[in-house]
A = this chain, B = another copy of it.
Amino acid sequence: MKKMIDYSVYLVLDPELCGGLDGMLRVTEAAMAGGAGVVQLRAPQWKKRQWLDAARALQPLCRQGGAVFVVNDQVDVALAVGADGVHVGQQDLPVAVVRELMGPQALIGLSVNHAGQLAAVPSEADYLGLGPVFATSTKKDAAPVLGLAQLAGLAAATSLPTVGIGGIAPANAGAVFAAGVDGVAVVSAICTAADPAAVTRELYALKGHTA
């Protein structure tokens, strides 16, 4: 399955920006219709019962829509719902531990914020989130902004698939793809869009796909 993943538009669901679970389901359906190939649930402000309820609804929805469903940080929630994968940051559980818990088939992503972290990426990681590319308001403990030049340097220095994340929207996504990443991870530009399917389609086309 992993080889078939289309990282071009990687939706990161924020419950506040989406307006709760119903909004997340609506945004997910629309984004998949627009071409999103990966959907991540990220809700650091939530207790686990909320994570579980949301993940239980999102996993089958994503499977039906052909997208990979990834849980941020909470490996127990991912295990409980049989999620396709987990995305972790540098302060979360180590990738090797996540791999052991999730098994060989799971998709495991790791956030990388600078070259030092890139040099230390464990072999168990399947893809990398590189960022923040631009300034972002949706992640409160974000690392310093990379900018496009550093993003290009990181993307060139790894053989793993990469997605840029942080402040990416249709207006700047073309430049992000030009930096050499395989996809753009997008939070607010899709979650808060009046037409999330249209925005996703626009982002998808910017990679050079015929949308």
Contacts and interface: CB of A to CB of B under 8 A. Distances in A.
A87 B64 CA distance: 34
A94 interface: yes
A49 B110 CA distance: 14
Contact of A80 (B73, B80, B90, B100): B100
Contacts of A80: 93, 97, 100-101
Interface string A70-81: 000111110110
A48 B91 contact: yes
Interface in A25-77: 47-50, 52, 73-77
Instruction: Please report whether the interface of chain A is mostly helix, strand, loop or mixed according to DSSP.
Output: helix
A22 interface: no
Interface string A89-127: 111111001001100000000000000000000000000
A77 B93 contact: yes
Interface residues of A, number: 21
Contacts of A48: 73, 91-93
Contacts of A79: 75-76, 79, 101
Interface string A179-205: 000000000000000000000000000
A73 B48 CA distance: 8
Given A75-B76, A76-B75, A49 B101 contact: no
B47 A94 contact: no
A49 B74 CA distance: 12
Contact of A94 (B49, B75, B92, B97): B49
Given A49-B93, A50-B91, A76-B93, 7 more contacts: A49-B91, A49-B94, A52-B94, A52-B97, A79-B79, A80-B100, A80-B101
Interface of A: 47-50, 52, 73-77, 79-80, 89-94, 97, 100-101
10 contacts: A48-B73, A48-B92, A48-B93, A49-B92, A50-B91, A52-B94, A52-B97, A76-B79, A79-B79, A80-B93
